[in-house]
Amino acid sequence: MNGTDWGALGVNLAVCAGTATAALLATFTAAMRRGLHRLVDIAWGLAFAAVAAVTWLLSDGHGDDSRRLLVAATTILWGLRLSVHIAHRSRGHGEDPRYTALLDKAPGNRTLYALRTVYLGQAALVWLISLPVQAASYSSAPLGILAYCGLALWATGLVFEAVGDHQLARFKADPANRGRIMDQGLWAWTRHPNYFGDSLIWWGLYFLACTAWQPSLTVLLSPVLMTLLLTIGSGKRLLEKHMAQRPGYAAYAARTSGFLPLPPRRTARGTPASTK
């Protein structure tokens, strides 16, 4: 990375590791008091926002101010929006079945298992995935074509994520849709517009950190890891396993792209299949 203060970046990496850990430990404490581990989903975006804010403060005088501000603002906006959405979606609901199933299989003490696998594990993921945010803030190179491409990717991803979440929430709020599969709007083009958007956001932040070949490889782990989590990790794979038994879901999955937005597949007669 052109003009990077590697010593200062090293300090930032250490401080942000502590920031992510502190955020998840605070969440663990709140979750134990309420008996509700799904709080960790709300903390996910907040932890990234905290890392971005800390990085912006620590990088003052070490990186290009425009890049620092852009990376911090985009990460904080994404993190806060996601956390607010999940908090609103979770209001009035009990424990997430994913965490119940996970902890039912815990070897030994459930509390320590939750702390180790859920909270400290997510703290480590926040730190790893936020590497482009941290690295970009210590580059003295001015914004260039890669940065603007990254911003365009980020904006496209935010639209997919936010619009997809809004469309699904509005669909579920209508009693007439109870028991039906959401196959409208962006959900007609991809079974997971929110996950696809999330992936684009982190590829965009990666390009914001790209100013030279070697550091680009260094932080490539971030978008690759996030994409894997969303597709074969705890995102798409687990959700589709849960949805597989829903009436109409198999037909929906047969005609709708699993991740990348594509036109709905058509039936032999040339019209889109429908569960309605």
pLDDT at 273 > cutoff 60:
no
CA distance 133 to 273: 42
Q: What is the pLDDT of residues 163-176, one digit of tens each?
A: 999 999 999 999 99
CA distance 219 to 210: 9
Tell me whether residue 270 is in a domain.
no
- Please check whether residues 2 and 63 belong to one and the same domain: yes
Per-residue 3-state assignment (H helix, E strand, C coil) for the chain: CCCCCHHHHHHHHHHHHHHHHHHHHHHHHHHHHHCCCCHHHHHHHHHHHHHHHHHHHHCCCCCCHHHHHHHHHHHHHHHHHHHHHHHHHHCCCCCCHHHHHHHHCCCCCHHHHHHHHHHHHHHHHHHHHCHHHHHHCCCCCCCCHHHHHHHHHHHHHHHHHHHHHHHHHHHHHCHHHCCCCCCCHHHHCCCCHHHHHHHHHHHHHHHHCCCCHHHHHHCCHHHHHHHHHHHCCCCHHHHHHHHCCCCCHHHHHHHCCCCCCCCCCECCCCCECCCC
- Please check whether residues 193 and 216 belong to one and the same domain: yes
pLDDT computed for residue 214 by the predictor: 59
* 239-249: average pLDDT: 88
Nearest to 62 by CA among 135, 141, 130, 4: 4
Indicate yes or no: pTM above 0.95: no
Q: How confident is the model at residue 245 (pLDDT cuts 50, 70, 90)?
A: confident
- Please check whether residues 133 and 169 belong to one and the same domain: no
Tell me whether residue 40 is in a domain.
yes
- Please check whether residues 129 and 148 belong to one and the same domain: no
- Please check whether residues 89 and 185 belong to one and the same domain: no
CA distance 135 to 70: 13
- Please check whether residues 135 and 156 belong to one and the same domain: no
pLDDT at 1 > cutoff 50:
no
pLDDT computed for residue 269 by the predictor: 45
- Please check whether residues 172 and 60 belong to one and the same domain: no
Q: How confident is the model at residue 7 (pLDDT cuts 50, 70, 90)?
A: very high
- Please check whether residues 121 and 251 belong to one and the same domain: no
Q: What is the pLDDT of residues 48-107, one digit of tens each?
A: 999 999 999 999 999 999 999 999 999 999 999 999 999 999 998 888 888 888 888 889
pLDDT at 267 > cutoff 70:
no
- Please check whether residues 178 and 192 belong to one and the same domain: yes
- Please check whether residues 54 and 150 belong to one and the same domain: no
- Please check whether residues 114 and 179 belong to one and the same domain: no
Q: How many domains does the chain have?
A: 2
pLDDT computed for residue 126 by the predictor: 98
pLDDT at 215 > cutoff 70:
no
Q: What is the pLDDT of residues 26-35, one digit of tens each?
A: 999 999 999 9
Are 8 and 59 in contact by the 8 Å Cβ rule? The answer is: yes
The position carrying tokens 């590829």 is 203
* Domain finish residue from 87, 107, 141: 141
pLDDT at 276 > cutoff 50:
no
Two structure tokens written together for 32: 């134990």
| Residue 76, domain extent | 1-141
92 vs 47, residue with greater confidence: 47
pLDDT at 133 > cutoff 80:
yes
- Please check whether residues 190 and 132 belong to one and the same domain: no
